[in-house]
Amino acid sequence: MKSGPLKIGIACFPLIGGSGILATALGSELARRGHEVYFFSYAQPVRLDLPQDNLHFHRVDVAHNPLFPSPDYTLPLAVKMAEVARSQQLDLFHVHYAVPHALAACLASQMLGPSAPRLVTTLHGTDTTLLGQDPDYRTAIEHALVHSDAVTAVSESLRNQTQEIFRLKRPIEVIRNFFTPNKPKRSRAEVRRDLGLTNEFLVLHMSSLRPVKRIDLLLRTIAESKNRERLRLFILAGGPFEPYEPLLDELGIRDSVIVRQNTAVVDEYLQAADAGLYTSEYESFGLSILETMFYRKPVVAFRVGGIPEVIGDACPLYPFGDATAAAAALDELLESPDLARELGERSRVRAVENFSADHILPKYEALYRRVAAGKVHRAGIEPATQ
Ligand code: GMT
């Protein structure tokens, strides 16, 4: 078994979104631990700080060839991965999201033949829960899972769902997400001043604002709070907020909501917040929730997907869609600073004990070593359902 540093190619999405953020953090931690890491994406991942020792970024140009009706990313990605794997003698590819990254890796492996790096695929949620049910993608995803040397999922919940959807013969390994806080560049007081706050209770929400995040329920929760005058909802938006503008007026909460486009810098906003509010209808994990917990903030969320695995018993969870219960929970936190402090402290302890880099990285490294040594066999599936 190879015992020294490994050469690892990571393919991920570069934008605000949990899978790319996790992949970036993983690559940075691996590089810090002496491995050589090569990122592949169409843009530099938002939280990737370069230059850094042992970290390399390979930009993949999306092909806009006039011969074809639409731009293509998968083939240029596969070609770039194959080129770098060959020139740098990569030990393995670790791809985040089945489509297109695992498929591009499969193609790259075929181009390379027997010398191809091993392939680890990490599933993050919608690549199996949504795309896996789409007949246009399902067979391709199955193919990628079968041809991966190891498949991981970020929660038990996602593993179980993936098993149900694809009926994999072999278990998928659960390796949960982690977070490493960065020192905030501004103080809590500075950020709050910048947001125009005095003593308001600041409720933070960070997400891509995709439909699954249920921003309608987020805003309805604020509308139902009996302390609306004393709280502000701060949305760090990884996507356009315009579709929800009319709802602000409909619910009469325009003055209670502050929206900023998400940047790579989340730590200073986490530090400035008093609680987190997450109203998704599904989350395989909920990386923003974990980030909030690391900053000692209590979280109000619904009991869906992998969220209970992240929060454990640090904070109560509520049935999906119950904005009234979520609003009452926020009111309780606002009215009882002691309770908010206690739940925040419990969240921090749980986050550090279960989801720190020191806890999670050895699991990935152990998997890489097993895969590199050929001790993990390809995941088989039953014949696809017709
Ligand atoms: O949900 C998003 O907005 C982004 C998405 C992604 O793939 O980037 O997040 C997924 O992966 C994250 C990292 O593992 C998880 O924390 C999120 O829960 C998961 N999103 C969903 O399952 C909807």
In a domain, 381, yes or no: no
- The CA 173 to ligand 1 mean position distance, Å, reads 18
**Are 319 and 361 members of one domain?**
no
Query: Atom 20, ligand 1: which residue's CA is nearest?
Result: 283
E strand or H helix at 22: helix 18-32
Give the number of the atom of ligand 1 that is nearest the alpha carbon of residue 129. 22
- 318 Cβ below 6 A of ligand 1: no
Does 126 lie in the same domain as 33?
Answer: yes
Tokens 């919608």 belong to 126
Q: Is residue 380 assigned to a domain? A: no
CATH code at position 276: 3.40.50.2000
> Does position 74 have pLDDT exceeding 80, yes or no?
yes
Apex 300 CA angle, 299 and 302, nearest 5: 125
259 shares its domain with 273:
yes
| Residue 30 CB-half CA count within 13 A | 27
% of the chain exceeding 70 in pLDDT:
96
Closest CA to 355 of 128, 181, 182: 181
CB of residue 282 inside a 6 A radius of ligand 1 = yes
Domain with 362, as residue range(s), is 7-178+357-372
Q: Are residues 156 and 166 in the same domain?
A: yes
For a pocket test of ligand 1, which of 21, 95, 285 has the largest count of ligand atoms closer than 8 A to its C-beta?
A: 285
45 lines ligand 1 (CB under 6 A): no
Residues 247 and 167 in one domain: no
The CA 19 to ligand 1 mean position distance, Å, reads 6
d(CA 293, CA 247): 29
Q: Are residues 22 and 117 in the same domain?
A: yes
Q: What whole-number distance in Å separates Cα of residue 158 and Cα of residue 137?
A: 18
In a domain? residue 336: yes
What is the phi/psi pair of residue 48, to 5°?
Answer: -90, 110
Mean pLDDT of the chain: 94
Residues 328 and 364 in one domain: no
383 pLDDT more than 50: no
Choose one of 12, 15, 19 to mutate for the ligand 1 pocket test, by most ligand atoms within 8 angstroms of C-beta.
19
204 and 326 assigned to the same domain: yes
287 close to ligand 1 (CB < 6 Angstrom): yes
Structural domain includes residue 69: yes
CB distance 177 to ligand 1 below 6 Å: yes
Q: Are residues 348 and 363 in the same domain?
A: no
The pTM of the whole model exceeds 0.85: yes
Q: Is the CB of 285 under 6 A from ligand 1?
A: yes
1 belongs to a structural domain: no
Q: Name the DSSP class of 119.
A: E
Tokens of 187: 């103080």
Q: Which two tokens stand for residue 336?
A: 């009882």
User: Does one domain contain both 251 and 263?
Assistant: yes
Q: If you measure from the C-alpha of residue 87 to the centroid of ligand 1, how many angstroms do you get, rounded to a whole number?
A: 32
**145 with 264, same domain?**
no
- Can you tell me which atom of ligand 1 is nearest the CA of 212? 23
382 part of a folded domain:
no
Q: What are phi and psi of 96, to 5 degrees?
A: -115, 110
Render pLDDT for 243-272 as a digit per residue (tens, 0 to 9).
999 999 999 999 999 999 977 789 999 999
* Alpha carbon of 309 to ligand 1 centroid (Å): 15
Q: Render pLDDT for 21-37 as a digit per residue (tens, 0 to 9).
A: 999 999 999 999 999 99
Q: How many domains does the chain have?
A: 2
pLDDT value of position 386: 36
Question: Does the pLDDT of residue 329 top 50, yes or no?
Answer: yes
The answer on 113 and 47 residing in a single domain is yes
Best mutation site among 13, 126, 215, 289 for ligand 1, i.e. most ligand atoms within 8 A of its Cβ? 126
Q: Between the CA of residue 300 and those of 6, 258, 289, what are the distances in Å?
A: 40, 18, 9
Per-residue pLDDT tens for 183-224? Answer: 999 999 999 999 999 999 999 999 999 999 999 999 999 999
- Cα(250) to centroid(ligand 1), Å: 29
For ligand 1, pick from 283, 292, 302, 304 the residue to mutate: most ligand atoms within 8 Å of CB: 283
On whether residue 2 sits in a domain, the answer given is no
Q: Mind listing the pLDDT tens digit for each residue in 294-304?
A: 999 999 999 99
The answer as to whether 183 is a domain residue is no
